[in-house]
Amino acid sequence: MAMDRDPASRNGAEAFFVLSGLHAVWWYRLNHMFWGWGWKFVARLLSQIVRWWTLIEIHPAALIGDRVFIDHGAGVVIGETSVIGDDCTLYHGVTLGGQGTVIDGRRHPTIGNGVVVGAGAIILGPVTVGDGALIGAGAVVISDVPAGRTAVGVPARLVAPKKGGRR
């Protein structure tokens, strides 16, 4: 998967040893398991160690689907009630942040399947980004993005699809 999404990876061994996004997701899977077992302190402690090591912060309670790839991951933050679908790509500096002080309930984004989130994009609050959507670099998303659409700007706005192509 990493070889498909990161053209800078020359071979599987290189991807295995040097891609911090892969390491962060692998450690998240273990920490999420600990969280589910009720070992919340251990999960949070390990997630902070991984944050120090990879510069990627993933809360152990977040729900992350299969084949999620974090490319050049420094500065990525994935909050506690975030949900990320399958086959998503997040670039460096992406924030899936909370909004509000609600203790129980959803306060972070839900990202559908096949979504690409550009570098430095911030998605705040309990918004939903539909399947196959694209979030442009530096966008600040504070409202829902329909499936297959592209959101850009601050605050993010939907861009009209190009004729004959996806946008």
**pLDDT at 100 (0 to 100):** 73
Question: Could you give the residue numbers annotated as active site?
Answer: 92
Superfamily of domain 2-159: Hexapeptide repeat proteins (2.160.10.10)
% of residues, the chain, pLDDT over 90: 75
Q: What is the pTM of this model?
A: 0.88
**What b/e string do you get for 85-115 counting C-beta neighbours within 10 Å, with b at 16 or more?**
bebbbbbbbbbbbbeeeeeeebbbbbbbbbb
Coil/strand/helix, residue 75: coil
Domain-by-domain residue ranges, the chain? 2-159
Coil/strand/helix, residue 114: coil
**pLDDT at 20 (0 to 100):** 84
Give me the chain's average pLDDT, please. Answer: 90
* Confidence category of residue 21, pLDDT binned at 50, 70, 90: confident
Relative to beta strand 134-135, strand 140-141 is unpaired
